[in-house]
Amino acid sequence: MMVQALPFKLGQVAIAKWAPMMANLREPHATRLYDGMLTALIKEYAEDRGMMISIMAHASPEQINGEYLALKAHGFRRGISLPYPDRYLVRLGLADDDQRASFDQTWRRQLHKAEKAGLTFERAKIEQLQEFKELYSAMTSRKQFPDHSAYETLDQLMALEEPVRPELFFVRKDNLLVAGALIFKAGDRAAYLYGATNKHALPLRAGYFLHWNIIRWLRDNTRARWYDLGGTDGFSGLHQFKKGMVGHAGAIRALPPSAYYASKPMAYVMGAGALLAREAILEVRRWVDAKRPTGAKPDLPRPNLDPDYA
């Protein structure tokens, strides 16, 4: 939970992004456990500390998002939605031939070219994190990439104990690092956290080679059933790349709106002010994105069977 103070010391808001998380969603009592976790959060932050709680649930591979419905059942109210809510989910656990057959034809063709380029894939050690940082820094400078993430927390993230510490993977060409990725791999869902490439990666199709081998490593070394590629921030090229990797076996689903809870009347006033402020920030970001000279377009809207999403 991230606890953030509201302006003028009006109060505090406890924010959880993609939480609470469960290690095993196939546990027979998973629904009851999840409800218990929500009850505990409400008691701790809303009732005992007098805060507002803001939670953004995961995108669900299913058409109906059970986590979001559970939040509503516990009294959470609808908050803001992200401007580009689509998330790209690759199904794990398939045999190599079936996994490749799931990819779009163009994605398979590019992967085939990458496999002929003499690339090597490796699971890196924590001590090699500096190599990734240098690669990431060079990429963001070269592409003028708008990073809205919490990248500055990377060292703390990699200092976590197993199994929640992310995995670091590299792709090299003749011992030269051309691509890398940090992957959260605990529980039912693995997630693509950060990726970086150099100027040689594109002609080598290194991104295809990297993700193909990550998918296989997750299948063979974790219990994750889904590989969450994240979103696109409206970049049409990124949409095509991730859509091709998701293929027909995976799913593209929209993140539900954030949901907020407050147990005291004054907290609702505080919450409304906080949500309005966040909406204003997102509106500025939408305006900045619209001015980008990239030709980026918003992702196509995805159907939702829960009318509350609309």
Contact 247, 107 (CB under 8 A): yes
Q: pLDDT band for position 256 (50/70/90)?
A: very high
What are the structural domains of the chain?
2-83+256-309 (no CATH), 86-251 (3.40.630.30)
* Average pLDDT value for residue range 5-14: 80
Residue 304: predicted pLDDT: 40
pLDDT band at 50 (very low <50, low <70, confident <90, very high): confident
Q: Evaluate if residue 2 carries a pLDDT over 60.
A: yes
Q: Please state, in angstroms and as integers, the Cα–Cα distance from residue 233 to each residue in 88, 145, 190, 228, 239, following that order.
A: 12, 11, 20, 15, 9
- Alpha-carbon distance of 232 to 59, in angstroms, equals 14
User: How confident is the model at residue 301, as a pLDDT?
Assistant: 41
DSSP 154-219: HHHHHTSPTTTSPEEEEEEETTEEEEEEEEE-STTEEEEEEEEE-TTHHHHTHHHHHHHHHHHHHH
C-beta of residue 141 within 8 angstroms of C-beta of residue 198: no
Strand partners for 259: 55, 78
State whether residue 1 is helix, strand or coil.
coil
Residues 221-232, mean pLDDT to the nearest whole number: 94
**Residue, of 201 and 285, whose pLDDT is higher:** 201
C-beta separation of 183 from 195 below 8 A: no
- 248: which DSSP letter? T
Q: What is the mean pLDDT of the chain?
A: 86
Task: pLDDT band for 288, please (50, 70, 90 cuts).
Answer: low
Cα–Cα distance, 58 to 69 (Å, whole number): 12
